[in-house]
Amino acid sequence: MNKKTVKELIKIANTLDNSGYYKEANSLTKLAYDVSPDDIIMPGDQKPEIQQDYSNIDVILENLKSQILTIINTANSLPELLENEEGPDDSMFYYHRRDLIQNLQESGSKISSLLIENMNFDSARDLEDKLEQ
């Protein structure tokens, strides 16, 4: 997940909390804070050179895909509009929810493509380059 997705999760959680959906807000907040900003490296940032074994990348990608699907299902289970909102034009929540689902679906599609291609990666840079395509 990138910073944009994390920010969308936090925005939706705040909106839910303000509208009385405390349980749902707490679930999304926990998801958002489980992702460390230090783990997110933006394009152009320096990355530490750490040698890692990517022989189990299929397992890692499957786990990531599973987590993304869980978050998508949670986001889809949220109401499209909050109480007292008349329609999408009256709701920032509607747009945040939609954007979150779209970002997650794009991430899931990229991961699925990598799994289908059954690629071998020698480094984190190789994996990152392929995900950015």
Q: Where are the domains of the chain?
A: 3-132
74-123 pLDDT, tens digit per residue, is 888 888 888 787 887 777 888 888 899 998 888 888 888 777 665 665 55
Average pLDDT of span 58-81: 84
Q: Is the pLDDT of residue 63 over 60?
A: yes
How many C-beta atoms surround the C-beta of residue 15 within 10 A?
20
In angstroms, rounded to a whole number, what is the distance separating the alpha carbons of residues 89 and 9?
Answer: 20
pLDDT for the residue numbered 62: 80
Rounded CA separation 133/126 (Å): 11
